[in-house]
Amino acid sequence: MKHVLKMLDLSPEEITQILDLADQLKYEKKHGIAHPYLIGKSIGLIFQKASTRTRVSFETGMNQLGGQALFLSARDLQIGRGEPVQDTARVLSRYLDAIMIRTFDQKEVEDLAEYGTIPVINGLTDFSHPCQVLADLMTIRERFGSLKGVKMAYLGDGDNMANSLIVGGLKTGMVVSVATPDEYKPDPIVLDFASEYDTFTWTNDPYEAVKDADVVITDTWASMGVEAEKEVRQIAFAPYQVNDELMKVAKPEAMVLHCLPAYREQEITEKVFEEHADEIFEEAENRLHAQKAVMVLLMKD
């Protein structure tokens, strides 16, 4: 594992390795056991998209590992003024030990990895959100003890979260069902990958997807970059709201997860969100532990 660019690149064994180390680091953090595995290391955090959880978890995580994190906004870098990504990659490779980038285009992440000589971590693109999904898988595994055979239902937009959850879930032995409107399906590359698994279903019927689910997951209907489509999307996604009626067809003790930020009474009701708030904020915390595991595995000598 040289980089974490998208879930499609990770093997089942690599995902398990990340989750196992994340569990260990979480245990150590909870019990006050220091783990300065990255003393003397530096990671650059490039943000073309705003963030709460990504920035704070990476900066805090790197600090807890004994290293240094540098916040690099697009407006502060020459990349924001037209410098080619390949030049930025080659320069930063001479200063840093790794790069995390949160941006729009998946190709930008791939180019950083191709032209640089240090590990690159995808903090989010329009195609993939591997760090979030690693935290999701960690949270689900904590609850059930294993991922194999656990049914995960995702509802809403076939966005970066849907793409990454499908791949991560199937690679770890989960049963994955996804419900989206016809015009908002997951990426064709991901659907092609998923077609090889008899444990995957796509439908435009949210009740069919959620039936007997162990885990129900949703995301905002208008992610960064598509805010102009908000009104159209609210109409298209209204039937996919996670609410009491929908949860009746899931298993009685089903989890509900949301990568946040959550827009209550849109993709999820206030009632369902608050009933599952402990799970959702455990999921948010696990961003810290999963990303620390990724950084250690990529950067530790």
Give the catalytic positions in this structure: 102, 129, 132, 219, 259, 287
The helix (H) or strand (E) run that includes residue 276 is none
The single-letter code of the amino acid at 93 is S
Give the burial class of 94: count Cβ atoms within 10 A of its Cβ; 0-12 exposed, 13-18 middle, 19 or more buried: exposed
Distance CA 98, CA 107 (A): 18
Q: Are 92 and 61 in contact (CB under 8 A)?
A: no
Closest CA to 287 of 107, 29, 12: 29
Secondary structure E strands in the chain: 42-47, 68-73, 98-102, 120-124, 151-155, 175-179, 200-203, 215-218, 255-258
φ and ψ at 4, to 5 degrees? -125, 95
Which alpha helices (H) appear in 3-73, and where do they start and end? 12-30, 53-64
DSSP readout, 221-235?
SS-TT-GGGHHHHHH
How far is Cα 184 from Cα 121, in angstroms, rounded to an integer?
Answer: 26
